[in-house]
Amino acid sequence: MTYRTIAEPCTGELEISRSRFLADVRRVETEEAARAVITEVRTAHRDARHHCSAFLLGPDGRLQRSNDDGEPSGTAGAPILAALRGSALSDVVAVVTRWFGGTLLGTGGLTRAYGGAVDAALRHARVVIREEREAVDLAVPHADAGRIEAELRARGVDVTGTDYTEVATLHLTTADPDALDAQIAALSGGTAVGIRKGPRWHDLDV
């Protein structure tokens, strides 16, 4: 299973009829973290009139929330959420801060401005694919660790870390655990066996 998210925060800004719209989009993995970002942005821009927001969470983006923060119903949170969905992203929160410029924009103008600010931010985003992979720990003798690690890397296995105690333990992730078992057996002459630790989410560059 895979899904798309952003690697790092991004921002975008629009000015329409002297109203300023600043979008702040960040990666989060829980509703608590998303609400903490909203609070942080609100605190950082106390002089602004509105801090409208939306977030999508989970591999399937099933958890979705939006908030108009005093703007007419459906003119802020919904277009922010639509912009996130339109980019096929999840595990993201977007907060659009508005400084009122003195001119009413109407429902259509607000909808375009809030969604457009998020689109502007996402144009600067570095998108990554998150893939669910099996984590595997492989214990091998110290004398063999360097060779086996190099061979596994050469075969496309992701080595996320190593521990050296009484034996060397390689921490691996793979999308194909059965194939990895076969590779380990071949490289170790059948003397080493990977211990599966369960699924983990792993970032892949697009």
Biggest alpha carbon–alpha carbon distance for the chain = 75
CA dihedral over 14, 112, 70, 86, signed as positive or negative: negative
How far is residue 92 CA from its own chain's centroid? 6
Q: According to the model, what pLDDT value does residue 138 have?
A: 93
pLDDT in tens, 184-197: 999 888 889 999 99
What angle is formed at CA 190 by the lines to CA 189 and CA 194, rounded to 5 degrees?
120
Please say if the pLDDT value at position 74 is more than 90. yes
Tokens 């508005």 sit on residue:
98
Q: For 50-69, what is the mean pLDDT?
A: 96
What angle is formed at CA 21 by the lines to CA 75 and CA 32, rounded to 5 degrees?
75
Going through the chain in order, the beta strands assigned E by DSSP cover 2-6, 10-16, 19-27, 50-57, 63-67, 92-99, 127-140, 158-164, 168-174, 195-205
Please say if the pLDDT value at position 206 is more than 80. no
Tokens encoding 169 = 């333990």
Least confident segment among 38-42, 90-94, 173-177, 201-205: 201-205
For 58, the 3-state DSSP assignment is: coil
Q: According to the model, what pLDDT value does residue 53 have?
A: 98
pLDDT in tens, 125-180: 999 999 988 899 999 998 888 899 999 999 888 898 888 887 889 898 888 899 99
User: Domain ranges in the chain?
Assistant: 2-125, 129-205
Look at the domain 129-205 and name its fold: Alpha-Beta Plaits (3.30.70)
Spell out a b/e string for 70-106, using b for 16 or more CB atoms within 10 Å of the CB, else e.
ebeeebbbbbbbbbbeebebbbbbbbbbbeeeeeebe
Q: Report the CATH number of the 2-125 domain.
A: 3.30.230.30
Q: Look at residues 105, 55, 63, 107 and name the one whose alpha carbon lies nearest to residue 82.
A: 55
Q: Is the pTM of this model over 0.95?
A: no
